[in-house]
């Protein structure tokens, strides 16, 4: 496996990320060394929050929350998934499977011997983090999740599966604008047509894979801050012509989320992982069923706290409230803030999580 490592200099101008790096080396399936980065902030004897990010971001997503959580006496551990942030980046599409991400992060968890954890997970942090809980239940005291899920879709009709594959592999050319238009039409989980969102999500999957240099900074910053449209268009132009690193049009937020990727070669995780979301039956079906069997008897405290205004994941909480015993009696809440509400609702989300931890100690 060919593995890339982002030079430290790429992170030297990141705003409000003063955290000491910690590194753990795990083994890949072919016995290569894969280095995973995490930050560890707050009182060493405090209750531990394991904060898991998604795609295309990294642990910088939690930089606004960390001061609030630390002030509440909470120790925050936030890793960068392989392919993101300061962690190593396997360079080939086939390197990134759902199961491999789970395997790598399970190794990371055990090597660090973290226990008595509260998980908070969002986006891909949920798909991977919830599987980590299912595989290492004794290490977790409670779970909080938001804007994510544990997709398990064994009953999608063959015709829909074939339609999705044909579209993703077909000749349609997507731009960031045409893709975003379709994704904004998603209506979360379920609905009158349970396959409508699967079809719309396929635009995101296809766009990421077909785009050699997906603009991670623009994608993230657009959902976290108000951007001047002409400036954003100029930033995108600079990215498209390969001069993004010289762009004077990046915001500090956009710069932070583009920093881990000094060239398009470093973005294979960003490109590959959306297609690994099991929105239709795939090789992860058995593992997802096993995880759901685990959570159907999970009686430890389990909190659903989401945005409630995220078209991708609206309604994510319904199946968990129905199936997970530990959700009973917990202060579930929807607090706004869009898909990356860790950034836009940092204070509010930190308060919800600190309250959840302290009342369940």
Catalytic, 141? Answer: no
Marked catalytic residue, from 37, 38, 53, 339: 339
pLDDT at residue 194 tops 80: no
| pLDDT band of 246, cuts 50, 70, 90 | confident
Q: Given 80, 88, 135, 310, which residue is catalytic? A: 310
The pTM is what? Answer: 0.97
pLDDT at 193: 81
In angstroms, the CA 101 to CA 59 distance is 16
User: Per-domain residue ranges for the chain?
Assistant: 3-152+282-359, 158-276
Distance CA 118, CA 353 (A): 9
Residue among 95, 103, 123, 135 flagged as catalytic: 123
310: annotated active-site residue = yes
Query: So what's the pLDDT on residue 275?
Result: 97
The string of pLDDT tens digits covering residues 293-319 is 999 999 999 999 999 999 999 999 999
Predicted pLDDT of residue 25: 98
Spatial distance between the Cα atoms of 30 and 18, rounded to a whole number of angstroms = 34
Mean pLDDT of 314-335: 97
Order of all β-strands in the sheet with 48-52:
22-27, 33-41, 75-79, 48-52, 117-121, 140-145, 302-306, 333-334
Q: Is 123 a catalytic residue?
A: yes
Distance between alpha carbon 133 and the CA centroid of its chain, in Å? Answer: 16
3-152+282-359: CATH architecture: 3-Layer(aba) Sandwich (3.40)
pLDDT of residue 261: 97
Cα 344 off chain centre by = 16
């Amino acid at each position: 496996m060919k593995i890339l490592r982002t030079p430290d200099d790429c992170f030297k101008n990141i705003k409000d990320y003063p955290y000491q790096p910690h590194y753990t080396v795990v083994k890949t399936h072919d016995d290569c060394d894969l280095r995973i980065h995490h930050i560890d902030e707050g009182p060493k004897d405090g209750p531990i929050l394991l904060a898991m990010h998604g795609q295309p971001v990294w642990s910088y997503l939690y930089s606004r929350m960390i001061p609030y959580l630390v002030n509440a006496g909470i120790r925050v551990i936030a890793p960068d998934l392989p392919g993101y942030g300061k962690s190593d980046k396997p360079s080939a599409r086939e390197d990134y499977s759902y199961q491999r991400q789970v395997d790598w992060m399970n190794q990371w968890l055990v090597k660090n011997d973290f226990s008595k954890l509260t998980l908070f997970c969002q986006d891909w942090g949920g798909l991977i983090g919830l599987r980590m809980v299912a595989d290492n239940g004794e290490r977790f005291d409670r779970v909080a999740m938001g804007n994510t899920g544990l997709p398990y879709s064994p009953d999608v009709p063959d015709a829909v599966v074939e339609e999705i594959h044909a579209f993703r592999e077909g000749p349609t050319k997507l731009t960031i604008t045409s893709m975003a238009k379709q994704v904004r039409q998603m209506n979360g989980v379920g609905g009158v047509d349970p396959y409508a969102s699967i079809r719309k999500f396929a635009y995101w999957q296809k766009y990421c894979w077909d785009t050699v240099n997906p603009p991670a900074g623009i994608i993230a910053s657009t959902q976290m801050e108000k951007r001047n449209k002409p400036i954003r268009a100029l930033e995108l132009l600079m990215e498209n012509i390969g001069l993004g690193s010289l762009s004077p049009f990046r915001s500090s937020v956009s710069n932070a989320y583009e920093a881990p990727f000094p060239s398009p070669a470093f973005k294979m995780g960003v490109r590959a992982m959306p297609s690994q979301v099991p929105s239709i039956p795939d090789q992860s079906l058995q593992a997802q069923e096993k995880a759901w069997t685990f959570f159907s008897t999970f009686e430890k405290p389990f909190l659903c706290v989401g945005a409630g205004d995220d078209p991708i994941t609206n309604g994510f909480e319904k199946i968990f409230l129905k199936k997970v015993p530990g959700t009973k009696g917990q202060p579930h809440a929807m607090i706004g803030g869009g898909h990356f509400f860790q950034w836009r609702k940092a204070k509010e989300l930190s308060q919800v999580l600190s309250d959840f931890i302290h009342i369940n100690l």
